[in-house]
A and B are shown apart, each in its own frame.
Chain A
């Protein structure tokens, strides 16, 4: 289908930090000196090797520039072709990967300031996720609070694989802050390499690391539900980004079956997990991991059991589709409208204020 130009909201684009030099003006004196004296640089996430085919569409690669590092190209490749009204910047530079939590906090602050000045400040269609030092929940909350006045920051961003499952109580102050300020929590594909990328150890190939990333977000979803995060924070919305969604029907079947058998162990989970997921959890569209036939995709979405789950994304500059085929075949017109527009507005209250 031709792409409907109804002012789509793109819920996952990736501006790239060109290098540490770009962040120097946004670091405090101490960290600017540390970074300079010690030559700290190169913190692009190992989850996204820059030259791997998945991580930049061939016709979006330009002159050896780091994919995603140019605002003009992002406009030309991701915003203009789809008539995009708003796009959410998820910056994947490695603040969450450092072992030093203070440095993580300084880097997160710098990345957010850099995004605000050099991307959001120059392109009104862009908004952003708050990068937080997930290594230290207290510092993460401080960064959220610092960003709250800037309405262009619409959610909190964390990588899918970190030190501990996100349901653990040590992370709850982050959810309290997010819920209070109506900021969804975006769990985005990517690992901080604290644990092997599979529970069976380290795979050999990047293809495997990419495929099993959906397992990390499934683990997070299991944890958030089982630990009672949605019971404690019923208004928290979680967005799972760049990790597929066609696995969701089976995931919910299994999760509900296990909950029925084992709910005495987690009595605070007071309704079926599938109900919680349909109510509180959203998924970005790309990669679709679509079945071979379009009608199978429609049937898979029917199995998910809600038309509110999907949020449009291009995943720019990652290579998930060619040309302007950002929408997989098999979606009917009313669902297309929902995922392009209604669902993002419903998910992001701050977007509603600024865009609608």
Chain B
């Protein structure tokens, strides 16, 4: 057994105060959202349901590893799905691990990838109202993300402007599987609004866009798809950088959530190598692509990469840059990273502070 495993207790980060950059709350039942929808959209939801470009009404296209994607022990004793009971989430996550701030990402219902975009916009507003009224107002440790109907940029900008300045919201959130790559022009007003209001963009792996899950078609298994979503995030970074979103909005901050982190270094090498040959195609990038990534983007660690030799991970994270890393648990999902055991390499005191807390304060501009 490696020394890093034996030293787990010594590494206990609870003393520090952890910022968990990926916490999943959930609706107890779809009806929870009804009070926040108009009569028209309540009826619409009841009649036509949530319509996204997927084969099944009540299941993910790729069947997950566990019910509700979650650890068995996270089902609240008083009923409802994992993440739906604030008190239980407080006990099991926030109090248990000394989480000083938890960044909420709602996955159980989504507005941005609704095929009816008008309904999507209404749903985003309702979700934000619900997050504010039923979560962030009840526990100051929790910060919500402004979910926006990003396929309709003017509506997304209206949603950002509605909530901007409200400190319960720490970021703007969009799905990552979008109709066009997120660097394309149709999304630019959203980045301009986010930058103007000093809100980072949080991009949690999610959403359906009708595109195959790989550039070569549909994989058969969840064992592939779980990895493919991280590859898709690499394409997303490529898009945001190469299409000039970061260069054109130098104060914009972007956080990638639940894609892991070790791929960032080799992606930077590849981007820089081919940019050097073809920079005439993207003349607004006057520095190597990696420089934008390393100043304007952050990456949550979960699911933490696990090489056979832990020292390889230390080296790779050096290459990614310790100032880019944000710790995340992904509570209550099955691939939860425990703050006390998920990082299986020795950390310096400075690295520990950066990873578990200080980088997040910078990325989210927290006091």
- On A, residues with C-beta under 8 Å from B are 52-54, 160-168, 191, 194-208, 210-212, 214-216, 218-220, 222-223, 226-227, 244, 246-247, 249-251, 253-259, 261-263, 265-266, 274, 287-292, 296, 299-300, 303, 305, 319
Chain B residue total in the interface (Cβ 8 A): 67
Q: Are A250 and B306 in contact (CB under 8 A)?
A: no
CB of B11 within 8 Å of the partner chain:
no
C-alpha gap A223/B212 in the complex (Å): 14
CB of B343 within 8 Å of the partner chain:
no
Chain A residues within 8 Å of B232, by CB: 198-200, 215
Q: Are B305 and A253 in contact (CB under 8 A)?
A: yes
Shortest distance from the beta carbon of A220 to any chain B beta carbon, whole Å: 6
C-alpha gap A256/B262 in the complex (Å): 14
CB of B312 within 8 Å of the partner chain:
yes
Q: Are B270 and A200 in contact (CB under 8 A)?
A: no
Question: Assuming the A-B contacts A200-B181, A250-B316, are A195 and B242 also in contact, with contact meaning beta carbons closer than 8 angstroms in the complex?
Answer: no
Question: Assuming the A-B contacts A52-B278, A219-B214, are A253 and B307 also in contact, with contact meaning beta carbons closer than 8 angstroms in the complex?
Answer: yes
Q: Are B220 and A200 in contact (CB under 8 A)?
A: no
C-alpha gap A53/B278 in the complex (Å): 6
Q: Are A247 and B270 in contact (CB under 8 A)?
A: yes
Of the candidates B65, B181, B238, B316, the one whose C-beta lies within 8 Å of that of A202 is B181
Question: Assuming the A-B contacts A165-B217, A166-B216, are A289 and B266 also in contact, with contact meaning beta carbons closer than 8 angstroms in the complex?
Answer: yes
Q: Are A262 and B212 in contact (CB under 8 A)?
A: no
C-alpha gap A61/B156 in the complex (Å): 48
Of chain B, the residue at the smallest CB distance from A193 is: B215
Of the candidates A207, A216, A253, the one whose C-beta lies within 8 Å of that of B281 is A207
Shortest distance from the beta carbon of B148 to any chain A beta carbon, whole Å: 17
Chain B residues within 8 Å of A303, by CB: 307, 312, 315-316
Of the candidates A254, A288, A319, the one whose C-beta lies within 8 Å of that of B277 is A319
Chain B residues within 8 Å of A166, by CB: 216
**Other contacts beyond A226-B220, A303-B315, A319-B277: 8, CB < 8 A:** A201-B180, A208-B239, A218-B231, A244-B266, A246-B269, A247-B266, A250-B262, A291-B269
C-alpha gap A261/B176 in the complex (Å): 24
Q: Are B265 and A291 in contact (CB under 8 A)?
A: yes
CB of B335 within 8 Å of the partner chain:
yes
CB of B228 within 8 Å of the partner chain:
yes
